[in-house]
């Protein structure tokens, strides 16, 4: 694993202080080669992803998630530092949320020309209604599966159904068995806060479908990389959460009581457990309470 060009910027320290797991003297960004020509670009607590292909069409690059205008500009420089002659063939949005999708033009500016922006079809409406000039709408959309050629290399984009959003895609590079999944899965980390907009039971279905992809290594939108076991444990985590919250509802607890009382010793060591587990209980409670009506 190769670490490229870490740089220290004092300005990120107040932000990092709010994110306990990343506060241990982390650099604000770093590029890591996960497999041959496949890179994770970490910017503060967010991860983007890029793939370099080399072949008859020359050297080409594909970006998934620019993260922000500032991050996107740096991401472009990171690509050019590992592949100075690269042509950018596209920018993909993992889903429509601004904290991952912002900054496409900042990436494109380093390469010139019209760069296609690729997303799931459901991402287009919320991006258009958001009207953020730093988050341009996709120019190419798909509904189920798409393949992007990056020189001689194939990058597959898979829609696994609704989960953290209704337009989350998974990027998969089959020749090295690396996948990139954002926000609906992570490595030994609980879900985000009270699981805002999370779609159940789609969350369960898409984690199971993720395992149908033949990956060995998986990069996440936040936190460290994982493997197939990480996804097996995510499934176990959401199953356990559902089981415990259903038992609390069965016992007549209100949402507030459940958030206070329900705990899961099996997952207490996970990232963000102490801050977000009670909130995850609330998110699960709301789904089960509506479902049971
Ligand atoms: Zn998100």
Show Cβ contacts of residue 226 under 8 Å, excluding neighbours closer than 6 positions: 186, 187, 188, 217, 218, 220
- The rounded mean pLDDT for the chain is 92
Which tens digits make up the pLDDT trace of 71-88?
Answer: 999 999 999 999 999 999
Residue 54 backbone phi and psi in degrees, to 5: -130, 135
What is the Å distance from ligand 1's center to 56 Cα? 36
Dihedral angle computed from the Cα positions of residues 210, 93, 71 and 173, in that order, rounded to the nearest 10 degrees: 50
What is the Å distance from ligand 1's center to 271 Cα? 17
Which tens digits make up the pLDDT trace of 198-241?
Answer: 999 999 999 999 999 999 999 999 999 999 999 999 999 999 99
Q: What integer is the mean pLDDT of 102-119?
A: 96
Angle at CA 189, nearest 5°, toward 183 and 193?
A: 65
What is the Å distance from ligand 1's center to 208 Cα? 19
What is the Å distance from ligand 1's center to 81 Cα? 28
Please indicate whether residue 290 or residue 119 has the higher confidence score (pLDDT): 119
Dig out the tokens for 18 from the structure.
Answer: 């709010």
Q: What pLDDT sits at residue 226?
A: 98
Q: What pLDDT sits at residue 214?
A: 98
Which tens digits make up the pLDDT trace of 131-179?
Answer: 999 999 999 999 999 999 999 999 999 999 999 999 999 999 999 999 9
Which tens digits make up the pLDDT trace of 40-73?
Answer: 999 999 999 999 999 999 999 999 999 999 999 9
- Per cent of the chain over pLDDT 90 is 88
Which tens digits make up the pLDDT trace of 179-193?
Answer: 999 999 999 999 999
What is the Å distance from ligand 1's center to 178 Cα? 20
Q: How confident is the model at residue 14 (pLDDT cuts 50, 70, 90)?
A: very low
Asked whether the beta carbons of 183 and 97 are under 8 A apart, the reply is yes
Q: Where are the domains of the chain?
A: 3-183
What is the Å distance from ligand 1's center to 130 Cα? 15
Q: Report the distance separating Cα 78 and Cα 82, nearest Å.
A: 7
What is the Å distance from ligand 1's center to 149 Cα? 26
Q: Which residues pair with 179 in a beta bridge?
A: 172, 218
Q: How confident is the model at residue 25 (pLDDT cuts 50, 70, 90)?
A: low
Show Cβ contacts of residue 93 under 8 Å, excluding neighbours closer than 6 positions: 64, 65, 100, 101, 104, 117, 118, 119, 120, 123, 127, 138, 169
What is the Å distance from ligand 1's center to 58 Cα? 34
Residue 176 buriedness (CB in 10 A; 0-12 / 13-18 / 19+): middle
Which CATH number describes the domain made up of 3-183?
3.60.15.10
Count of all residues that appear for the chain in the document:
293
Asked whether the beta carbons of 62 and 50 are under 8 A apart, the reply is yes
């Amino acid at each position: 694993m190769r670490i490229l060009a870490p740089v220290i910027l004092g300005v990120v320290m107040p932000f990092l202080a709010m994110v306990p797991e990343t506060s241990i003297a982390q650099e604000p960004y770093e590029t890591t080669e996960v497999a041959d020509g496949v890179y994770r670009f970490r910017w503060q607590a967010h991860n983007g992803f890029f793939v370099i292909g080399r072949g008859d069409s020359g050297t080409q690059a594909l970006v998934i998630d620019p993260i922000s205008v500032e991050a996107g500009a740096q991401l472009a420089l990171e690509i050019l530092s590992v592949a100075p002659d690269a042509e950018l063939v596209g920018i993909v949005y993992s889903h429509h949320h601004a904290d991952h999708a912002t900054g496409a033009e900042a990436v494109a500016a380093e390469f010139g020309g019209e760069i296609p922006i690729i997303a799931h079809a459901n991402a287009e409406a919320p991006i258009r209604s958001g009207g953020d000039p730093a988050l341009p709408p996709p120019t190419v959309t798909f509904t189920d599966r798409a393949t992007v050629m990056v020189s001689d290399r194939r990058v597959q984009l898979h829609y696994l159904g609704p989960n953290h959003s209704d337009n989350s895609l998974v990027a998969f590079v089959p020749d090295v068995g690396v996948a990139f999944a954002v926000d609906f899965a992570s490595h030994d980390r609980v879900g985000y806060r009270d699981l805002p907009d999370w779609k159940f039971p789609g969350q369960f279905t898409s984690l199971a479908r993720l395992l149908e992809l033949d990956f060995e290594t998986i990069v996440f939108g936040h936190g460290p990389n994982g493997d197939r076991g990480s996804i097996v444990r995510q499934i176990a985590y959401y199953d356990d959460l559902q089981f415990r919250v259903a038992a609390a509802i069965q016992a007549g607890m209100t949402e507030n009581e459940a958030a206070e009382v329900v705990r899961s010793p099996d997952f207490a060591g996970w990232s963000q457990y102490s801050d977000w587990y009670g909130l995850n209980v609330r998110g699960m409670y709301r789904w089960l309470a509506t479902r049971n009506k």
